[in-house]
Structure 1
Amino acid sequence: MRAVVFAYHNVGDRCLRVLHARGVEVALVVTHRDRPDETIWFRRVADTAAELGLPVVHGDDPNDPALAAAVKAARPDMLFSFYYRAMIPPAVLALAPRGAFNMHGSLLPKYRGRVPVNWAVLHGETETGATLHAMEAKPDAGDIVAQTAVPILPDDTAQQVFDKVTVAAEQTLWRVLPAMLAGNTPRRPNVLAEGSYFSGRRPEDGRIDWRQPAAAVYNLIRAVAPPYPGAFTELKGRRLVVERARRPLPAEMPPTQVLAGLTPGLHVLDGRIVGLCGDGGLVLILALSEGNAPLSPAALAALLQSSPQA
């Protein structure tokens, strides 16, 4: 069995290793160049391919005729996409006579589209997973081959959930690959009407609206916590990033009279930074920064007491 693999990120690293371990002849690995505006906190698939002795090319534009020619020359039986960031055109998918398959970071048909883990955390989901599915022209729309669920715990950040999804992707591929190699690829309909589609997120989408309920604010903080850009708020013209937070236990809630009269936003109470939300709930801020430098409760208290122009 020969395969061409389009791959990036940790899921790309682990799933490429699964193919290698299962004896698949990977004739070509296509990956992305690192973007200068992005923090590379994940595994580079180019490094994985070099370690495994596999031929690798950079293919940021899947519509490049030269890339299509390289895929055709590799004579793949199957084509795989593991967190490759671009849509692969149907003409390239058709070069693999035994099918083209993508690993997606959700339980399809839920959370089709971009950054599915971040969206699942943002919406307060308690479960997500990884799905291997057949590729077609429409994103994340082909038949489901196999999937594995993982829990989202109440305080999990998006990175923690992504780490679980990476393991789920590895397990999914490892479990189903023998049947696929034997020509018995399982398939079941991916019923799009029962799911959802979300587009990509921008750093600006991390702006906190303190008028929202505390649960929604906390979910946003978890969904974009570092190494993602982080949830942020602006105070007196300065942008502050909430890097880590948690919801208070009942015993940690200050008396109602302490909160009376306070407006939604950041405050310092009993030496702790808190975010007061629109429903009267609190978020305890465990790490607050400005320009990548930590901001202490004392420094925030001084900022809150300063003049608006400060």
Structure 2
Amino acid sequence: MRPRAVVFAYHNVGVRCLQVLLARGVDVALVVTHEDSPSETIWFGSVAAVAAEHGIEVIKPADPNDDALRDAVRRAQPDFIFSFYYRHMLPTDVLALAPRGAYNMHGSLLPKYRGRVPTNWAVLNGEAETGATLHEMTAKPDAGSIVGQTSVPILPDDTAQQVFDKVTVAAEQTLWRVLPALLAGEAPCLPNDTARGSYFGGRKPEDGRIDWSQSGERVYNLIRAVAPPYPGAFTDIGEVRFIVAQARLAPPGVRIGAPRTNLPPGLHVSDNAFLGVCGDARVIAISELWHALDGKPAVITPAEFLKLTHTSPHS
């Protein structure tokens, strides 16, 4: 008899890990996912669509504490519960409905970066690697024993989306590798020493505000960590908001024209190009800048920037 599972899932990791379960012969009786928010840019795959393709029942409760959700899980009679980038903590009484265990796929190398948006935090903090970890679910977030994990590199110019794409593959590889042992009741149970790790909360769009007095490395890491399709790192000049969509940090000591070395920290136009000057005099070469007039971001040229800000170019 095939092992039976209820899957809580969303986003690309949810899509790929659900497909791994199906490819490994797991009977997925129910998929629990989210309604897409009209205020969010949906750049990722649909778990609900994959479930529908396979004839799997899908529900989208707003509250994981809803009694109707408990009833649906109970009716599904799962051996296992899996959570793949589902955005809510699951109550312990729901987890207890799976006699063979409940497991979550987290987008970091636990115990590091427990909590929310771990990929963005890892990029923001200048980490050189991250990964994906499958672990047992407990009452505390990302605190259960580790079943398996896979690491991926974070290159110096990687954006959070590029790293997230790698983490998605790492999640798929991790689940594919450990699932046979998990289904056989022979999976490893490795310590997850939260005292040696770190916990991070969610991030809001306002957290993308650039402080040009910070070091070039810190500013660049912020730009990479929230680059589109995330809300983007931004700076305000007057009443106009500018979003740095694509950029690169110039090497230390690099001069791109003598006048630039005298510019104060902030966003500037010089030689018909955008650049950001940071508190340690490092320069960020900006290849794509957006303005957010009327709440609708659009690419802007240096000439349009100068007109909007009523500033003079540096040449």
SS in structure 2 of the partner of residue 279 of structure 1: coil
> Matches of 1:185 and 1:64 in 2, distance apart?
31
Give the deviation of 1:304 after TM superposition: 4.5
> Matches of 1:37 and 1:100 in 2, distance apart?
31
Q: Cα–Cα, structure 1 residues 132 and 151, in superposed 2: closer, same or farther, change >3 Å?
A: same
Give the deviation of 1:78 after TM superposition: 0.6
SS in structure 1 of the partner of residue 247 of structure 2: strand
Match of 2:66 in 1: 64
Match of 2:84 in 1: 82
- 1:269 alignment partner AA: S
Give the deviation of 1:261 after TM superposition: 3.7
- 1:273 alignment partner AA: F
- 2:26 alignment partner AA: V
Gaps of 5+ in 2: none
What do residues 40-68 of structure 1 show as CA deviations (whole Å, max 9, x unaligned)?
A: 11011100101122111112311000100
Match of 1:128 in 2: 130
1:298 aligned onto 2:303 = yes
What do residues 68-126 of structure 1 show as CA deviations (whole Å, max 9, x unaligned)?
A: 01101111111000000000000000000110000000000000000000000000001
CA contact (8 A) 1:60 1:86 kept: no
Q: Percent identity?
A: 66
> Matches of 1:301 and 1:237 in 2, distance apart?
14
The two structures have a TM-score, normalised by structure 2, of 0.94
SS in structure 2 of the partner of residue 36 of structure 1: coil
Match of 2:266 in 1: 265
Q: List structure 1 runs of 4+ shifted beyond 6 angstroms.
A: none
How many pairs align? Answer: 306
- 2:116 alignment partner AA: R
CA contact (8 A) 1:99 1:134 kept: yes
The two structures have a TM-score, normalised by structure 1, of 0.96
1:4 aligned onto 2:11 = no
CA contact (8 A) 1:107 1:129 kept: yes
- 1:290 alignment partner AA: H
CA RMSD of aligned residues (A): 1.4
CA contact (8 A) 2:253 2:282 kept: no
CA contact (8 A) 2:29 2:76 kept: yes
> Matches of 2:253 and 2:138 in 1, distance apart?
53
Give the deviation of 1:36 after TM superposition: 1.3
Gaps of 5+ in 1: none
CA contact (8 A) 2:132 2:150 kept: yes
> Matches of 1:252 and 1:238 in 2, distance apart?
30
What do residues 105-148 of structure 1 show as CA deviations (whole Å, max 9, x unaligned)?
A: 00000000000000000000010000000000000000000000
> Matches of 1:303 and 1:29 in 2, distance apart?
49
> Matches of 1:145 and 1:60 in 2, distance apart?
29
- 1:59 alignment partner AA: P
CA contact (8 A) 1:267 1:301 kept: no
Give the deviation of 1:253 after TM superposition: 2.3
Instruction: Give runs of aligned pairs for residues 98-137 of structure 1, distance below 5 A.
Output: 98-137=100-139
Higher mean C-alpha deviation, range 127-136 or range 263-272:
263-272
Higher mean C-alpha deviation, range 115-124 or range 242-251:
242-251
- 2:185 alignment partner AA: G
Give the deviation of 1:252 after TM superposition: 5.5
Match of 2:235 in 1: 233
> Matches of 1:144 and 1:93 in 2, distance apart?
17
Of 223, 226, 229, the residue aligned with 1:224 is: 226
SS in structure 2 of the partner of residue 18 of structure 1: helix
